[in-house]
């Protein structure tokens, strides 16, 4: 009798604890739903030896909705030979081992998928894991046209927020040519987490030529789209500081080696430095939360020669910009107050730097 119960238990218990590779059924993929791997587990699950399963988790886009998925992966691997390979929704692969982080959070970008392969070797090391997936409906924002007439095109990222009762997750900007995007951020109160969970689509949700994390464009060359439209998206729900995405028609950006941006904020001095080689460089300074920019200091690295161009001009830097201040003759004028929300600084033939700040308003 005991033997039979034992045998029954052996069959039954092992079938209960045996993990399988069951994937999320389509009927469970809808906003507000949560799903656990292994199916219906609410606690960590022990992984048997010789386990090898790949969970593919999708966030589909349909004609009626754009879905986002948030994945919480608990890694309690114990065996030195056990591992998980995560391919995130932008295609980046990470291998997790017993010494990796235990709690990991991934976005599933709408229209994409992530995969998590869980592998254990023949020795049972009592490794455990749990995957939790939560689906939300993305609030797709409106499409706006690039402004003309000397206005700087920018998106204050405070207007985008993850799953907020009021704010949208995204905004689409439509131009007449491809778009160059540079980030204007604070250097010290830097919103790392926000920019990690924020993205730019070359195109829009329904036609994604490519998708990139905004954090990849901090302190780097601007992003240049192939389409005449880009979409800025965030899934981050936490607070962050003065940050904007500045958008220029690519023909405007192409006049420069780099056309970058810098936020001017309250409570810190941000330094912008130019070292132009053959082509001019330019930086768009934007007071994201203010209407005033104070240029606090100005420093030329060498004697100013007649070939040096160092100018503060209105708007984005192009042929309709007007000269506000010639920096080659302005060293005695610092600090200098501009009652403007933004301006551009153009540098050619000389290296120099300046600092900016903006009082709160």
Ligand X SMILES: *[C@@H]1O[C@H](CO)[C@@H](O)[C@H](O)[C@H]1NC(C)=O
Residues that bind ligand X (CB under 6 A): 39-40, 52, 119, 148-151, 203, 207, 209, 227, 255, 315-320
199 beta partners: 213, 233
Q: Which residue is nearest to ligand X (CB)?
A: 148
Q: Which is nearer to ligand X, 169 or 227 (CB)?
A: 227
Dig out the tokens for 6 from the structure.
Answer: 């034992």
Strand order of the β-sheet with 153-156 is 153-156, 243-249, 179-185, 223-224
Q: Which is nearer to ligand X, 69 or 203 (CB)?
A: 203
Three-class HEC string of 70-97:
EEEEEEECCCCCCEEEEECCCCCEEEEC
Q: Which is nearer to ligand X, 42 or 361 (CB)?
A: 42
Smallest distance from the beta carbon of 269 to ligand X, in angstroms? 28
H or E, element range at 325: strand 323-326
Q: Which is nearer to ligand X, 113 or 297 (CB)?
A: 113
Smallest distance from the beta carbon of 178 to ligand X, in angstroms? 10
Smallest distance from the beta carbon of 360 to ligand X, in angstroms? 28
Please say whether the beta carbons of 61 and 206 come within 8 A: yes
Cα angle vertex 185, ends 140, 112, to 5°? 35
- SS3 (DSSP) at 32: coil
Q: Which is nearer to ligand X, 89 or 225 (CB)?
A: 225
Smallest distance from the beta carbon of 203 to ligand X, in angstroms? 6
Smallest distance from the beta carbon of 303 to ligand X, in angstroms? 25
């Amino acid at each position: 009798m005991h033997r039979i119960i034992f045998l029954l238990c052996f069959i039954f218990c092992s079938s209960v604890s045996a993990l399988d590779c069951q994937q999320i059924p389509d009927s469970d993929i809808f906003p507000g739903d949560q799903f656990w791997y292994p199916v219906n587990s609410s606690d960590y699950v022990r992984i048997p030896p010789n386990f090898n399963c790949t969970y593919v988790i999708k966030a589909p886009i349909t004609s009626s909705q754009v879905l986002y998925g948030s994945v919480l992966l608990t890694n309690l691997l114990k065996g030195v030979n056990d591992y998980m390979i995560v391919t995130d929704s932008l295609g980046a692969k990470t291998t997790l081992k017993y010494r990796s982080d235990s709690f990991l959070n991934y976005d599933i970008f709408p229209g994409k998928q992530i995969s998590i392969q869980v592998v254990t070797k023949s020795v049972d090391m009592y490794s455990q894991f749990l995957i939790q997936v939560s689906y939300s409906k993305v609030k797709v924002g409106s499409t706006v046209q690039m402004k003309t007439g000397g206005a700087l095109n920018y998106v204050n990222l405070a207007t985008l927020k993850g799953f907020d009762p009021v704010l949208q997750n995204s905004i689409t900007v439509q131009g007449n040519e491809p778009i160059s995007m540079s980030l204007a951020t604070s250097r010290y109160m830097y919103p790392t987490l926000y920019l990690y969970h924020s993205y730019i689509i070359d195109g829009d949700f329904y036609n994604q030529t490519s998708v990139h994390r905004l954090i990849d464009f901090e302190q780097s060359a601007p992003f240049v789209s192939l389409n005449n439209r880009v979409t800025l998206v965030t899934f981050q729900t936490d607070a962050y500081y003065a940050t904007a995405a500045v958008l220029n028609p690519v023909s405007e950006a192409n006049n420069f080696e780099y056309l970058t941006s810098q936020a001017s904020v309250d409570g810190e001095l941000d330094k912008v430095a130019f070292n132009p080689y053959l082509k001019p460089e330019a930086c768009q300074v934007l007071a994201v939360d203010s209407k005033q920019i104070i240029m606090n200091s100005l420093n030329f690295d060498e004697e100013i020669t007649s070939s040096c161009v160092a100018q503060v001009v209105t708007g984005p830097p192009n042929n309709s910009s007007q000269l506000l201040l010639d920096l080659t003759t302005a060293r005695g004028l610092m600090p200098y107050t501009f009652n403007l929300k933004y301006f551009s600084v153009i540098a050619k033939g000389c290296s120099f730097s300046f600092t900016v700040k903006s009082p709160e308003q």
